[in-house]
Amino acid sequence: MPRPVEYDNLIERRAFEAVTPTLGAVARYLSNAADYKITADELRGSRPMQLFTLAYEGYFRVVQAVLEFYRVRTKEAGRNLAIQRVSTSLGVTSQEFSFITKAHERRNGTSYESPFPPVSKNEAATMLAVLTKYLPVAHNLTGTP
């Protein structure tokens, strides 16, 4: 499948780099995302920080799967641009896009800066809902069973 022009533009700007795909990587990323989701589902309603982190990391595996499918990796841009570009490719709504962008900042803030304020149950549930909704979309987009 040809890579969308938006990805080629990011390669030209050196935000992404073109790579040779690793055999089986897309399936492995999606399998890992599914495992994060299964574990997060077990925590539903409790331990919001852990649930949020599992769901966020699962969504990022979805992002990595799509990047691998389009034969690109982040270069100078890092996770944030990758998440934004792939989220657009997956067709997230503007409200979901806003949440995902904030979730990335939230994850970095609670991981690297301060554990306060604590992640709410609503934030955790929303992140899990995003993963739950877009994991099958990524399977469909990449043609990975």
**What residues make up the domain containing 53?**
5-142
pLDDT band at 77 (very low <50, low <70, confident <90, very high): low
- In whole angstroms, what is the distance from residue 62 CA to residue 26 CA? 9
As a dihedral over the C-alpha atoms of residue 14, residue 20, residue 26, residue 32, rounded to 10 degrees, the angle is -70
Q: What is the pTM of this model?
A: 0.93
| Residue 45 phi, psi (nearest 5) | 90, -10
Looking at residue 138, its pLDDT comes to: 99
Total domains in the fold of the chain: 1
The answer to whether the beta carbons of residues 87 and 11 sit under 8 Å apart is: no
Q: What is the CATH number of the domain that holds 64?
A: 1.20.120.330
Let me know: does 97 contact 80? Beta carbons within 8 Å. Answer: no
Region 37-57 average pLDDT: 94
Check residue 40 and give its pLDDT. 97
pLDDT in tens, 87-144: 999 999 999 999 999 998 887 767 666 777 888 999 999 999 999 999 999 999 999 9
> How many CB atoms neighbour CB 132 within 10 A?
15
β-partners of residue 72 are: 18
C-alpha separations of 55 from 3, 12, 43, 96, 129 in Å: 27, 32, 11, 14, 8
Confidence of residue 38 (pLDDT cuts 50, 70, 90): very high
Whole-number CA gyration radius for the chain: 15
Assign 80 a pLDDT band (cuts: 50, 70, 90).
confident
For residue 41, pLDDT over 80 is answered with yes
